[in-house]
Amino acid sequence: MSSEDIFKKIVSHAKEYGFIFPSSELYDGLGAVYDYGPNGVELKNNIKQYWWRSMTQMHENIVGVDSAIFMHPKIWKASGHVDAFNDPLIDNKDSKKRYRADVLIEDHIAKIEEKINKEIAKAKKRFGDSFNEEQFLATSERVKGYKQEMETIHQRFADLMNANDLAGLKSLIEELGIVCPISGTRNWTDVRQFNLMFATKMGSVSDDSDTIYLRPETAQGIFVNYLNVQKTNRMKIPFGIAQIGKAFRNEIVARQFIFRMREFEQMEMEFFCRPGTEMDWFNYWKEERMNWHLALGIPKEKYRYHDHEKLAHYANAATDIEFEFPFGFKELEGIHSRTDFDLKRHQEFSGKKIQYFDSEINESYTPYCVETSIGLDRTFLAVFSHAYKEETLSDGQTRTVLNLPKQLAPYKVSVLPLVNKDGLPEMARSIMNDLKFTMRTHYEEKDTIGKRYRRQDAIGTPYCITVDNDSLKDNSVTIRLRDTMQQERVAVDNIKTYIASH
Ligand code: GAP
């Protein structure tokens, strides 16, 4: 099955099992906006909690905020978003479709990378066990040619983006022979800049002064609260401020399901440190964040760093943690060393002094900042798409299972009376009522037990507890494990211990 087909199945599974619905579906949907259903909201909340706890509970020097989405418009001037938060867009004159010029070029580079991967796969097949990938990459003339081509395009592309050279971007698209996927033609308009912020009006008087923006990132809500938090919580540098919240971007190309949305959630942490120590903290957070991902139990081959060679004007180091989504490796999280850019700009635009007195060195300074910024919806997609499996069982039947990390699954257990009579529902409910205080517990009595197991597999419930007629006599239940489908008889008194250790 092609990765495109698998991705389609993942999207329809998410809808069919109450994880994600297109927003406003009754009215045929709204582009790149999605709603989370009953199972989706549980999974999403568990991801949030996993991030929030690891940031705040596990780091004594990180505290949280929940700042408003509406902020003073000057903030977005200071941050640079009003002037520079743009995407280069280009239209195809024949299909009338709009694209991001940078994405067209990135996709072209990704296609060359795909060719390299195909060469590797072919060689692996040819050489079998004796295949040495490193040696192959270093010696295959064809692969070396592809790599050189990628690097040349990449370098030119980065230079054009940095120089904001829109005419150059158009020329590059033409030179590379990039065609519109819909019309198949190269009939392109000029490249134009498009600001991604949504604007609205505050109050009843409609003039320019009351134009405000829906925040395009949560980070600025942290920077403008730096002084409040540092003072009220008596924070000592180095310290961090974490925030989870909605962000809004008027994305030109909204596709790939919840990967690129117009309304999404971010989990961001700004870590303030003494100038000169930022590279140590940058390396610390780079490793720490990767460990957070790996602690979910997803194989490390699914992640990679992508260090930025060309840096934004305010950054002195930047890397992305990329994840292998069904449509290839793409950014999941960004880690940036943002210097003192943001606090200095807010100092300048607000006219208020933003300084820290460091009693250890007897000096005042504007703190430097290392940012970790991860998309909640993208993490959802990473976890969900990796968990989705279609399995053929030993008896030839198939099942769809979500091997979600246990701590993230919408329900930890489902309690199922074998039949809906003979006192089994009563015993099952009593077990559920005991478990529900410590774990998210589901109860179901409709349908055959086989069908109920399949449904729990499909939503990723790690443990099913079945109460049968023997249960009434021996006060034991059958616990079925989602991943192996193994079943074991467990005394009711031992259910919690069993779940904790399996
Ligand atoms: N404060 C830094 C910042 O906002 P970013 O790279 O623009 O940096 C950070 O965004 C993360 O937010 C990304 O790595 C991605 O996971 C998520 N993200 C950004 N735009 C998104 C979108 N349109 N839809 C879903 N997630 C998005």
Q: Is the pLDDT of residue 206 over 80?
A: no
DSSP-assigned letters across all residues of 295-351: TTT--GGGEEEEE-SS--TT-SEEEEEEEEETTEEEEEEEEEE-TTHHHHHHHHHH-
- For a mutational test of ligand 1's pocket, the pick from 76, 241, 250, 266, i.e. the residue with the most ligand atoms closer than 8 A to its C-beta, is 266
Residue 304 has pLDDT above 60, yes or no: yes
pLDDT at 449: 97
pTM of the complete model beyond 0.95: no
| Residue identifier of the C-alpha nearest atom 17 of ligand 1 | 375
pLDDT classification of 340: cutoffs 50, 70, 90: very high
Q: Out of 81, 213, 264, give the residue to mutate to test ligand 1, the one with the largest number of ligand atoms within 8 Å of its CB.
A: 264
- Of 88, 81, 149, 80, residue with least CA distance to 114: 149
Q: Does position 86 have pLDDT exceeding 80, yes or no? A: yes
Q: pLDDT class for 290, splitting at 50, 70, 90?
A: very high
Of all protein residues, the one whose alpha carbon is nearest to atom 25 of ligand 1 is: 260
Give the distance (Å) from ligand 1 centre to CA of residue 386: 20
Contact 418, 361 (CB under 8 A): no
Cβ–Cβ under 8 Å, residues 178 and 109? no
How many Å lie between the centroid of ligand 1 and the Cα of residue 268? Answer: 10
Q: CB within 6 Å of ligand 1 — which residues?
A: 217, 219, 249, 251, 260-261, 264, 266, 268, 331-334, 371, 373-375, 377-378
Where do the H-state alpha helices sit in 397-476? 424-435, 449-459, 469-474
How wide is the angle at C-alpha 269 spanned by C-alphas 268 and 274, nearest 5°?
150
Q: Of all atoms in ligand 1, which is nearest to the CA of residue 331? A: 14
Q: How far is the CA of 230 from the centre of ligand 1 (A)?
A: 26
Average pLDDT estimate for 341-361: 97
Instruction: Tell me if 245 sits within 8 A of 69, measured CB to CB.
Output: yes
DSSP string, 41-53: HHHHHHHHHHHHI
Residues 147, 174 contacting (CB under 8 angstroms): no
| Average pLDDT score, the chain | 95
For residues 228 and 90, give the distance between their C-alpha atoms in angstroms, rounded to a whole number: 43
Tell me, in angstroms, the distance from the centre of ligand 1 to residue 374's CA. Answer: 7
Cα(203) to centroid(ligand 1), Å:
29
Cα–Cα distance for residue pair 263/6, rounded to 1 Å:
25
**Closest atom of ligand 1 relative to the 336 alpha carbon:** 2
The per-residue pLDDT for 268 is 98
Report whether pLDDT(200) > 70: yes
Q: Whose CA is nearest to atom 2 of ligand 1?
A: 373
Distance 313 CA to ligand 1 centre (A): 18
Q: Does residue 20 surpass a pLDDT of 70? A: yes
Residue 274 has pLDDT above 80, yes or no: yes
Which residue has the least CA distance to atom 16 on ligand 1? 375
* pLDDT above 80 for 209: no
Alpha helices for 185-276 (secondary structure H): 219-223, 226-232
Residues 360-372 have pLDDT tens digits of 999 999 999 999 9
User: What is the atom index within ligand 1 of the atom nearest the CA of 266?
Assistant: 12
Strands (E), 181-262: 192-195, 199-201, 211-213, 239-248
Give the tens place of pLDDT for each residue, 460-496: 999 999 999 999 999 999 999 999 999 999 999 999 9
Instruction: For residue 272, report the distance from its CA to the centre of ligand 1, in Å.
Output: 21
Cα dihedral 29, 215, 268, 290 in deg (nearest 10): 50
Calculate how far, in angstroms, residue 266's C-alpha sits from the geometric centre of ligand 1: 7
Q: How confident is the model at residue 308 (pLDDT cuts 50, 70, 90)?
A: confident
pLDDT at res. 207: 60
Is the model more confident about 308 or about 403? 403
Q: How far is Cα of residue 247 from the mean position of the Cα atoms in its chain? A: 13
Cis geometry, peptide bond prior to residue 238 (ω within 30 degrees of 0):
yes
Q: How confident is the model at residue 31 (pLDDT cuts 50, 70, 90)?
A: very high
* Residue-level pLDDT at 314: 85
Mean pLDDT, to the nearest integer, of 308-324?
89
What is the distance in A from the centroid of ligand 1 to the CA of 242? 15
Proportion of the chain above pLDDT 70, given as a percent: 99
Residue 303 pLDDT grade (very low, low, confident, very high; cuts 50, 70, 90): very high
Q: What's the mean pLDDT in 264-275? A: 98
What domains are defined for the chain?
37-74+196-396 (3.30.930.10), 86-195 (3.30.40.230), 411-501 (3.40.50.800)
Return the bridge partners of 166, or none.
Answer: none
Per-residue pLDDT, averaged over 222-232, amounts to 98
